[in-house]
Amino acid sequence: MKISLLEPIGVSREEIEALAAPVRAKGHTFVYYDTKTTDAEELKRRSEGCEVVMIANNPYPAEVVRASKALRMLNVAFTGIDHVGLEACRERGVMVCNAANYSNQTVAELAVGLTIGLMRHVVPADRAVRSGGTSAGLMGREIAGKTVGIVGTGRIGMIAAKLFQAFGAMVIAFSRTRRPEAEALGIRYVGLEELMQESDIVSLHVPSNASTRGMIGRAQIACMKPTALLINCARGPIVDSAALADALNEGRIAGAGIDVFDSEPPIPADEPLLHAKNALLTPHVAFLSQEAMQRRAKIVFENLLAYVDGHPVNVCEI
């Protein structure tokens, strides 16, 4: 069996080779490419003859799936799989496995970090020091005593909720599924409109799918307090970025911390949030920590070994 890892996954080549050793020991061929590419023809070349292809968050479009005739399993070193040509995978019967849960803590921590960055004016304060300024205009706010609305109480949402509670916030939630664990922590489930109205901080933790795309649009943003913050470390298409930028520029909400956009960075110059007031932006780094990279490398190679041994794990419904 030929297996190719088409891009770096955040750990050293030495670690990749060590993780691949058991696969090679079973007589399989493992190839590692240490550069990213979005060129479809190059992806086809790298995938040629492979029964298993391993990727991270680089797009793997439908035309590449269809051209990769030997492909039987796509092993995604990422939680989301919306960057994969899933329709083509369904057509061809290609199994898709992911590395769910590797970045839960890391993503939740950035959601809190962006909140602190906005509430304590961290970036403007840094600029003030470097330009000879003072603390004038940098009065901050505390998380303690605020109401935090968690949209999506899956694993990441639950960690974020616990972190915000540790700061002394009251947490409310909106989610497709109510979790007894959340209610045991005193988290009150409410409708989305009520959450947007009551929250001082709204933190999004839902996947991107047909039911969540555009779920935070003009109507929902219009419900928010003028002092409220919106934090998105989930997926870009969940939020109407033009509507959010308008609300920020018009002072209808106080700020936004955004790690994800409609496309992967580099972000086009016409992205509305690039020109919005009080927007703290990061280039899709929520998942990116040393610890998370170690976890996901371990998970995807466990996925690979399980597939090779005939009992696949972390199989996604597509």
317 given a catalytic annotation: no
Compute the C-alpha angle 153/157/160, nearest 5°.
140
284 given a catalytic annotation: yes
Full DSSP string of 217-283: -HHHHHTS-TT-EEEE-S-GGGB-HHHHHHHHHTTSSSEEEE---SSPSSPPTT-GGGG-TTEEE-S
Out of 205, 284, 295, 296, the active site residue is 284
Q: Which amino acid is at 106?
A: T
For tokens 């109205």, what's the residue?
197
235 given a catalytic annotation: yes
> Strand 95-97's sheet: what is its strand order?
29-32, 2-5, 52-55, 73-76, 95-97
37 DSSP assignment:
-
Find residue 30's DSSP bridge partners: 3
Rounded Cα gap, residues 2 and 29, in angstroms: 5
Out of 179, 205, 235, 296, the active site residue is 235
| Gyration radius from the chain CA atoms | 21
Question: Which residues are annotated as catalytic?
Answer: 235, 264, 284
